[in-house]
Amino acid sequence: AAAPAGHWDIALYGNLFGVREYQVWVPAGYDGAQPLPLLLVLHGCVNGPNLMGEASGFNDVADTEGFIVVYPRQNVTSNPARCWNWQLPINQARDSGEPSILAGIVDKVKADYSVDPHRVYVTGISAGGAMTSIMLACYSDVFAAGAIHSGGMFKGATTISGSAYALLAGSI
């Protein structure tokens, strides 16, 4: 018999800088009695929560190890390729732009589920990896640790043209 699986919850969060949909993977056996770790997962371009959940395997690990996974979705109106806009200065500061939305999502999930505030982590790939570096730099009091896959360093670029250079040649 297959092991019991968790389930998806879908919600919206918005602030002055915009609104984003996010999906929460609630692991099998979650009952709210014990605070669980939380992992914020930031997708790359032309990607989204469902594909990230499937490709990463985080949902299966969450079911086995007992943690909550949060997958925000970038809007096509904010970026036609669904890339996180990590290269824009407004998105490279605390309480500003997309980082404020992502931090707000984390706060909303912490309010809606039983989360251990000392075990909140962030990871991302490509544009999500670059945004992960921003979240770690700007919200070091929120995240215990993070992992960047194929993404740039904090402020590795501050313009759209600079982001192309950073992706091809590395951060300066």
Domain boundaries, the chain: 7-169
Q: How far apart, in whole angstroms, are the C-alpha atoms of residue 171 and residue 150?
A: 12
Reduced to 3 states, what is the DSSP secondary structure of residue 123?
strand
How many C-beta neighbours within 10 Å does residue 145 have? 10
Residue 172's pLDDT band (boundaries 50, 70, 90)? low
Over the stretch 71-120, which tens digit does the pLDDT of each residue have?
Answer: 999 999 999 999 999 999 999 999 999 999 999 999 999 999 999 999 99
pLDDT at 24: 98
pLDDT score for 159: 76
Question: What confidence tens digit (pLDDT) does each residue in 17-51 have?
Answer: 999 999 999 999 999 999 999 999 999 999 999 99
Q: What is the Rg, in whole angstroms, of the alpha carbon atoms belonging to the chain?
A: 16
Which residues belong to the active site? 126
Q: Which pTM does this prediction carry?
A: 0.93
Q: Which CATH class is domain 7-169?
A: alpha beta
The CB density around residue 8, as the number of other CB atoms within 10 Å, is 14
Q: Are 114 and 34 in contact, with CB atoms under 8 Å apart?
A: yes
